[in-house]
Amino acid sequence: MLNRGFSIFIITVLLFAAGFGAKAQTYGGGLIDKSIAIVGNDVILLSDIEEEVRMMLASGMTVESNTRCQILENLVSSRLFLTQARLDSLTVTDEQVREQVEARLNDIMNRIGGEKETEEYFKKPLYKIRADWTDVFRDQLLIQQMQQKVYTSIPKMTPAAIKELCAEMPAEDLPVIPTQYKLRQIVLYPDKESAAMVVKEKLLDLRERVLAGEKFSSLARLYSQDPGSATRGGELGMRSKTVYWPQFSDAAMSLKVGQVSQIVETPDGYHIIQMIEKKGDMFNARHILIKPSYTASDRNKAFARLDSIKSEILGGNITFEAAAWFNSEDPKTRTSGGMMVDEYTGSASLEKDRLNPADYAVIKDMKQGDISEPFESLDTEGRGHTIYKIVRLDEEIPSHTATFETDYDALVNMANEKNAHKAIENFVEEKKKTTHIRIDPLFAGCKFVNEEWIEK
C-alpha cells in the first residue's frame, strides 16, 4: 500500500494529464495548472510548487515523497508574513531583487552547464525566467524583512534571564560544547620568491609550447595540479565569472576564444588560461595550475630557526608571545602574540573540526603549556600554502555540557534560537485565526507539520 505522502505525489503527476474546473490553465508547454491554496488575497498555484521542485533539483537537492507537501506548507506560512509585510508597507529595492535573482540563476547555470542548458531545463528563455523569478524573489525578500521584524521584537535576554533559563532547563536539553583548544603559534614561510620563479619559468615554457602548436589540453593533463580539471584537459565547464578568484575571471574574460593568457596569480597558485567560449558573464576555459613547491633545504632551514626560537623560549630568554611578535611571519597572529582565533567567529577557543588536520595531529597528545616540535602545515589563504610552525597549547577545554560560567555565548545563542522559533510560531498561530485559508482537497493526505492546515 502506498504511503500518504507518495499518494499525493502520484495525484500531482496525474494533474498534468487532466483539466480542473474554471481556475485551471496551461503553463510550461501545455501542462495543466491549478490553484491549490488561497491565503487571504493570495493564490498558490500548482505551478508554484512545481517551479520550486525544479529549482531544488537544479540546485542538487533531493526531492522526496513528501517534498511537495512541505513546499506547500512553507508557501502557506510564508504568505501570512507577506500579507503582514504589505500591511506594514515594507519595501525592497529593484537592485536587491535583481541581485537575488542573478545569484540564484548563476548558481543554477553553474550546476546545469550554461544558459542554453538552463533554458532547456526550465523550458523558457532566460529573460522569461528572470521575469518570472522577479516577483517571487521580491516576495521572498519582503517575507524575510517581516520575519526579521518579528525577530527584533523579541526582548533581549539579560544575563540574569540566561542564568535562570540555564538553571531551569534539564541538563540533557543544554547544548554540548565540543573539546576546544587555545593555541599560540610562531609561523615561518618558505622562500616564496624563489619557488614562484621556478613555477613561472615552467608556465612560460608551457605557454610557448601551446603557441608553437601543442595542444593545451594535453599539457594540462600532464602538468596541471588542479585535480578537478586536469583529467579533462584543464577544462572548467561553463560557469559564471563570479565562481572564480577575481584575478582569474578578469584575465579569462579579457581573452578571445582560443587565446592563451599570460601567467595569472591567485591564492591557489599560478595559472595560464585558454578561452573556449564566452556567453555574457559566463565562460568555459581551460587552465593549467602549478603551485609553488619547496625543497628539503627550505624545510630544514625553517625547522632550524624554529628550534632556535623554541630553545630561547624554554631557556627563559624570551616569552612565547614576544618571540611571536619578533619572529612570526603570519600577519594575522603575530601582533597578538601568536594567538590563534577562529576566522569565522573570532573566538580564541578552537574546536577540533576548525583546526587544520596537521595542527590537530600535533596538539592532540600535548599537555597544557607544551611547545611543539617544528612541523609543516598549511595557512588559510586560498586552499592553503605551505608553512612551518611551532605551537603552544595554552589550554584544552574538554567536551562538556554548557554552563553559565563558561559558555555564556553558547547559551545566549540557544536562547535566541528558541525565542525566535517561538515568535515565528506565535505569529503564524495568530494570523491563522484572522486570515482566510483554503487548501485544495488534493493535498488532504499531506503530512503537514501543522496538521491544522488541512482543517482549514
Tens-place pLDDT, residues 273-288: 999 999 888 899 999 9
Choosing from 243, 258, 290, the residue where a domain stops is 290
Choosing from 240, 270, 290, the residue where a domain stops is 290
- Residue 375 within any structural domain of the chain: yes
Number of structural domains (the chain) is 3
- Residue 277 within any structural domain of the chain: yes
The confidence score (pLDDT) of residue 32 equals: 63
Alpha-carbon separation of residue 397 from 351, 365, 368 (angstroms): 9, 14, 10
> 40 with 139, same domain?
yes
Q: At what angle do helices 126-152 and 115-122 cross, to 10 degrees?
A: 80
Run of H or E including 250: helix 246-253
d(CA 355, CA 412): 24
Tracing cell 507537501 back to the chain, one arrives at 69
> 100 with 14, same domain?
yes
Model's pTM, two decimal places? Answer: 0.65
pLDDT single digits (tens) 359-406: 999 999 999 999 999 999 988 776 678 899 999 999 999 999 998 888
Residue 325 CB: number of other CB atoms within 10 A? 16
The confidence score (pLDDT) of residue 52 equals: 87
> 396 with 431, same domain?
no
Query: Cβ distance 269 to 291 under 8 Å?
Result: yes
> 238 with 316, same domain?
no
> 317 with 269, same domain?
no
Q: What burial class does residue 29 get, using C-beta atoms within 10 Å of its C-beta: 0-12 exposed, 13-18 middle, 19+ buried? A: exposed
Tracing cell 499531506 back to the chain, one arrives at 446
d(CA 46, CA 36): 6
CATH number of the domain where residue 360 is located: 3.10.50.40
What residue spans of 169-234 are helical by DSSP H?
192-211, 216-223, 227-230
What residue spans of 41-177 are helical by DSSP H?
46-58, 67-87, 94-112, 115-122, 126-152, 159-168
The confidence score (pLDDT) of residue 452 equals: 67
> 24 with 119, same domain?
yes
Q: What is the DSSP letter of 448?
A: -
Cell of 295: 625543497
- Sites in the chain below the pLDDT cut of 70: 1-32, 382-383, 451-456
362: containing domain:
177-192+295-401
d(CA 221, CA 194): 25
Cell of 173: 536539553
The confidence score (pLDDT) of residue 93 equals: 93
> 340 with 381, same domain?
yes
Q: Of the candidates 123, 263, 138, 145, which has an alpha carbon nearest to the alpha carbon of residue 200?
A: 263
Choosing from 243, 261, 290, the residue where a domain stops is 290
The confidence score (pLDDT) of residue 344 equals: 82
> 220 with 262, same domain?
yes
- Residue 216 within any structural domain of the chain: yes
